[in-house]
Amino acid sequence: MNRRVRRKVLQLKDKEKLTCDYYVEICDGSSSSERKGDVDWISLPDDTVIQLFSYLNYRDRASLSSTCKTWRVLGSSPCLWSSLDLRAHKCDSAIAVTLASRCSNLQKLRFRGTESANAIMNLQARGLREISGDFCREITDATLSVMAARHEALESLQLGPEFCERISSDAIKLVALCCPKLKRLRLSGIRDVDGEAINALAKHCGQLEEIGFMDCMSVDEVALGNVMSVRFLSVAGTRNTKWSSALHLWNLLPNLICLDVSRTDVTSAVVVRLMSTTPSLKVVCALNCPNLEEESNHTAYNVKGKLLLALFSDIFKGVASLFADTTVKDRDVFSEWSSSKSGNKNLNDTMTWLECILSHTLLRIAETNPQGLDTFWLKQGAALLLSLMRSSQVDVQERAATGLATFVVIDDENATVDCGRAEAVMQDGGIRLLLDLAKSCREGLQSEAAKAIANLSVNAKVAKAVAEEGGINILADLARSMNRLVAEEAAGGLWNLSVGEEHKGAIAEAGGIKALVDLIFKWPFGGDGVLERAAGALANLAADDKCSMEVAVAGGVHALVMLARTCKFDGVQEQAARALANLAAHGDSNSNNAAVGQEAGALEALVQLTRSNHEGVRQEAAGALWNLSFDDRNREAIAAAGGVEALVALAQNCSNASQGLQERAAGALWGLSVSETNSIAIGREGGVAPLIALARSEAEDVHETAAGALWNLAFNPGNALRIVEEGGVPALVHLCSSSVSKMARFMAALALAYMFDGRMDEVAASIGSTSEGISKSVSLDAPRRMALKNIHDFVGTFSDQQSFNAAANSSAPPALAQVAEAARIQEAGHLRCSGAEIGRFVVMLRNPSSILKACAAFALLQFTIPGGRHATHHASLLQKSGAARVMRAAAAAATAPLEAKIFAKIVLRNLEHHNVEASSLI
């Protein structure tokens, strides 16, 4: 339900500056596709304009403020600039200077990265109280020191959760000297926090209530005992802690309420002593502490009035025990506290700290993915993250969403998602919750929620739930975001959802295809993340015939070719090539194949990508060239772009590569070799030997493409002799007799038939000629005998003697139909032969060899069987060449083998069928 909130404001008088009595940000929760109707912007009340401004990021807010004088004044309202989140967009010094006039009353600031950290000095926000930064690996002592010196009123400083590896104790000492009002200090991944730095905090920051030194190499535990003001202390993930020293000093801290020792080597004895001897201590958080978890006696931690949170404890129940109200439901404890905070300051502070600590620790555990935590994640870990996603603290929500995105992935390299964890999120209502957060007006939440949705959607059941909950429309909306990080994660979600055939149409209907194409044009140099996800999603969508046309209409061909030509990231190149391959795979049903080939620079780019150092890029580029080679114009253009040389080189170097690369390299050469000019060029470039090597592969798919390429090459007598010279006959014989692929066996037989139908003998006889480049003589007798025997055996496997005798005694259609069906190789119907090839088989029917006659008739049967993709085309070629007379002669010849006679009769029947079919269409 949409909510409209009126803001209490002072009316403008003589264009004086507007101020707000209060400001609360509320999002309406609707996606852009749900909003309808026009707005009269000129007549909007001032408070409504301010409310609308509040939903915008700082750049859009500043841009709209320049629309007119009234909006400029409204856009400068202090209530709009009390907090600033710079993470969503690049913020350099120039932008910070532009914003400075609005930031005189800035209280809270969030930034991302070193450039923003250096730029915030230019905001002139001297009264800044809270600074929070992430991606801080490159931030130095100098930057942190200037930040502290410029903001003496600072009360809260947080840097992390990434490691701040270039910050030392020297900078911490300067923070202590410059920021005497500091109440909260959280720093992650500092190498060493020495005693001087901590003692400086104790001396100069008398109000310091919360200290967090997480994931540090070492922290001076003795000096921590001097910070008497500390109430909340976290040393989670720190190493080299001397727990005996900590035990004797920390229990003397008079105000210490909560202690976090998660992910450390703390022992059970230390924990029990701290809980027993520290009067003020109420909560110890010790998640993923191996020494504690190895202990079998967990009752030792039952210290009256004290709470231990560990992986083996019921965390929800433990937190609920902090409340005097016993009616609080364990699983709802965080949401109930958030919606009705008690008047107990200590409790409120404790719950606020617990939300931060738990979200941080769960994220860290998810990132390291230690073994043996499946039970924890399924029983309470997932539920904890979902509960924390309902927090009123935005940074807690973001970390919880990131934790969900992270903990479900158990193999990042192969994008493997744990089904149990993903479905646990779904069963606890996590999908609806994530989608609601994705509709938030806060871009940080949008980004992290979209990331979680994307990762969870790897699981097919979750993907279905996301689609049913309206997630596709939400992700398509987010993909249009001007925030690159949001658009990137949304594109990732669409990428994973587009794996399911049932979701492709819905993505297209939601405008997802146009949004993805626009992303490529919007951020052509935006880094590999957004471009790889957009190209990957388009690649999946392009595999669908209807969606592939929409990709082309939306400008996808140009966008993907642009990536293939200009982008230097391997992942982007791989997905762009795969998308182009899928676009070109629908040659019989749309014009995308030709369109890709005609796009300027497309073929040259793909040829160049076959030389990439990345195997995935080479594989997808070869696959794209294979599909594109089905178009006659593309085939010649690929060769003109250096495709023959590049693909021969690829085949020569892929003997140890993946089966996918081997299949596509041979397939691309197969496609190019349909042209006899290209076939001769492939032979001259040395393409025969690597194809023979690939024909020896153990993979069925590689068998087929290598056999197909060798079949085309063998049509040329010079190549046929090269195949013999390179030892190709035994390889083809092995395929013909042993491959599990009928298609590979069929094409191997046809290649052998081409080689030994007599034409190669003429080339061998003129061995001195340089026109074919033959450098040595070979003996053809033994290879011929081997080849003919295996051709005979292959055809014989489709020659049931009983059926043949019945067909010979009766030319009735049923008998012939029975033989034809038994002899049919289903995949052979996809082969398309030229007139020259069909003519060669017709001539082969007159060959003295009865084996070759039978093979020729068998081949023509396969090419003309009704229902085959190119059967009508082949029948037309046979009709035009007058082959019917030859077929009838073969069927009636007394000396012809029975197989040749029966197969010839079936071919004649097929021709009659196609004749009748053609007549009915006139």
Q: How confident is the model at residue 39 (pLDDT cuts 50, 70, 90)?
A: low
- The 3-state secondary structure of 515-531, one letter per residue: HHHHHHHHCCCCCHHHH
- pLDDT band of 746, cuts 50, 70, 90: very high
Residue type present at position 36: K
Report d(CA 74, CA 649) in Å as an integer: 65
Nearest 10 degrees: CA dihedral of 744, 750, 753, 759?
A: -120
Confidence of residue 45 (pLDDT cuts 50, 70, 90): confident
b/e code 854-893 from CB counts within 10 Å (16+ = b): bbbbbbbbbbbbeebebbebbbbbbeeeebbebbeebbee
Report whether pLDDT(527) > 80. no
Domain extent for 890: 798-921
pLDDT at 25 over 80: no
In a domain, 578, yes or no: no
Residues forming beta bridges with residue 463, ordered by sequence position: none
**Rounded to whole angstroms, what are the CA distances from 298 to 244, 303, 520?**
21, 11, 55
Higher-scoring residue by pLDDT: 94, 256: 256
Rounded Cα distance between 668 and 647, Å, is: 7
Please tell me which residue, 27 or 846, carries the higher pLDDT value.
Answer: 846
Q: Count structural domains, the chain.
A: 2
Give the range with max mean pLDDT: 13-22, 56-65, 674-683, 803-812.
674-683
Res 12 pLDDT > 50: no
- Read off the pLDDT of each residue in 747-767 and give the average, rounded to a whole number: 87
**Separation of alpha carbons 488 and 519, rounded Å:** 9
User: Phi and psi for 580 in degrees, rounded to 5?
Assistant: -65, -35
| Count of beta carbons in the 10 Å neighbourhood of residue 186 | 21
Tell me which of 58, 80, 102 is where a domain ends.
80
Residues 6 or more apart from 526 whose CB is under 8 A from it? 484
Higher pLDDT, 698 or 514: 514
Most confident of 28-32, 67-71, 167-171: 167-171
What integer is the mean pLDDT of 85-113? Answer: 85
- Lowest mean pLDDT, pick from 200-214, 296-310, 383-397, 458-472: 296-310
Q: For residue 791, give Cα distances in angstroms to 704, 787, 796, 822, 854.
A: 17, 6, 8, 18, 9
Residue 198 maps to a domain: no
Of 29, 56, 80, the residue that ends a domain is: 80
Mean pLDDT of 478-488: 93
Cβ-based burial of 299 (10 A; exposed 0-12, middle 13-18, buried ≥19): exposed
| Residue 778 pLDDT grade (very low, low, confident, very high; cuts 50, 70, 90) | low
Q: Give the pair of three-digit tokens for residue 249.
A: 């000093």
Lowest-confidence segment of 223-232, 312-321, 323-332, 641-650 by average pLDDT: 323-332
Residue 151 contacts residue 177 (beta carbons within 8 Å): no
Question: What is the pLDDT, as a whole number, of residue 35?
Answer: 45
More confident residue, 404 or 65: 404
The full DSSP string for 666-717 is HHHHHHHTTSHHHHHHHHHTT-HHHHHHHHT-S-HHHHHHHHHHHHHHHTSH
Residue 161 has what pLDDT?
A: 86
- d(C-alpha 212, C-alpha 234), whole Å: 5
CB of 380 closer than 8 Å to CB of 316: yes
What pLDDT is stored for residue 917 in this prediction? Answer: 63
Residue 627: the pLDDT is 95
Query: Is 778 or 633 the better-scoring residue by pLDDT?
Result: 633
Digit-coded pLDDT (tens) for 780-804? 889 999 999 999 999 988 877 767 7
In a domain, 884, yes or no: yes
This prediction's pTM: 0.86
Does residue 478 belong to any structural domain of this protein? no
| Average pLDDT score over the chain | 88
- Confirm whether 107 is domain-assigned: no
Specify the pLDDT at position 501.
94
Residue 69 belongs to some domain of the structure: yes
On the question of pLDDT at 42 being above 70, the answer is no
Q: Residue 47's pLDDT band (boundaries 50, 70, 90)?
A: confident
Looking at 54, 80, 106, the residue that finishes a domain is 80
Question: For residue 59, what is the domain's CATH number?
Answer: 1.20.1280
Longest dimension (CA), the chain: 114
CB atoms within 10 A of CB 154: 23
- Would residue 748 count as lying in a domain? no
CA distance 724 to 4: 82
Asked whether 537 and 491 are in contact (CB, 8 A), the reply is yes
Q: What is the pLDDT of residue 60?
A: 75
Token output for 488: 């990137």
Does residue 18 form part of some domain? no
Tell how strand 409-411 and strand 416-417 pair up: antiparallel
Which whole number is the average pLDDT over 251-266? 96
Calculate the CA dihedral of residues 272, 278, 284, 290 and round it to 10 degrees: -30
Q: Hey, which of 16-30, 95-109, 675-689 has the most confident mean pLDDT?
A: 675-689
**Residue of 227 and 415 predicted with greater confidence:** 227
